Amino acid sequence: MANPTNPIRNRDENRGGSNPLGERTWETASSMTEKARDVASSAAQTAGETAAGVAQRAKDVASSATQRASEVTANVGQKAAEATSAVGGRIRGVADTLRESLPHEGMMGTASSALADTLDRSGRYLEEEGLRGMADDLTNLVRRNPIPALFLGIGVGFLLGRSLRR
């Protein structure tokens, strides 16, 4: 026989046919357990969907940032090419001004003509080749003359080191 003062009762006693309150208690507990499982499952599903949504938004933001960075880089490259071409045009303008204003005869005429021709060629080179052409030409020069390029790099590094040390 069950001890009525004992708060812990056997499950079979609570479900016993003679005690309808115990049977209802068992059904209610079972129903609450089932509802708790449903709520937990729903919460887990909602959390998973939220996490997937956050991950997708993060991917979208990263993709958008990458695209904008690419656009900015292309814009900067285009502006640099335009600026290089403009500088080349100005150098050619200076060459034309020198041709008009400096003497044309004698030793000064020969020197001014050589200077104007050199400036004109430099300006045309900048207009036509731009920064990419200059970089390609520098790369080819270093490939053809690796030892002098190495010594030049060491010398420039030495001079920069001395000037930054002070």
CA distance 115 to 121: 10
Q: Is the pLDDT assigned to residue 2 strictly greater than 60?
A: no
Q: What is the mean pLDDT of residues 91-118?
A: 88
Asked whether residue 162 is domain-assigned, the answer is: no
Residue 21: predicted pLDDT: 55
Range of the domain at 39: 29-146
pTM greater than the 0.95 cutoff: no
Asked whether residue 15 is domain-assigned, the answer is: no
Asked whether residue 129 is domain-assigned, the answer is: yes
Give per-residue pLDDT as tens, 111-122.
888 989 999 999
Residue 23: predicted pLDDT: 66
Which two structure tokens, joined as six digits, stand for 40?
A: 């937990």
Give per-residue pLDDT as tens, 17-52.
455 555 667 777 777 788 878 777 777 788 778 877
